Structure 1
């Protein structure tokens, strides 16, 4: 996923963001899933 795919809602989180990390989208269509 590209960095454009992320929306940082809390600016304090921006410094924790790792642009080299990989995120896999496992499933879509859930209202809530863990």
Structure 2
């Protein structure tokens, strides 16, 4: 649970370029990560 909370905080602080990388690394659709 702690890991998930930390990852959510990282996503909230990320720029658009970083969001693309995060989505790719997690295998998640960009639109879902962006939302």
Provide the TM-score with structure 2 as the length reference. Answer: 0.30
The structure with more radius of gyration: 1
Provide the TM-score with structure 1 as the length reference. Answer: 0.30
Taking CA–CA contacts closer than 8 Å with sequence separation of 6 or more, which of the two structures ends up with the larger relative contact order?
Answer: 1
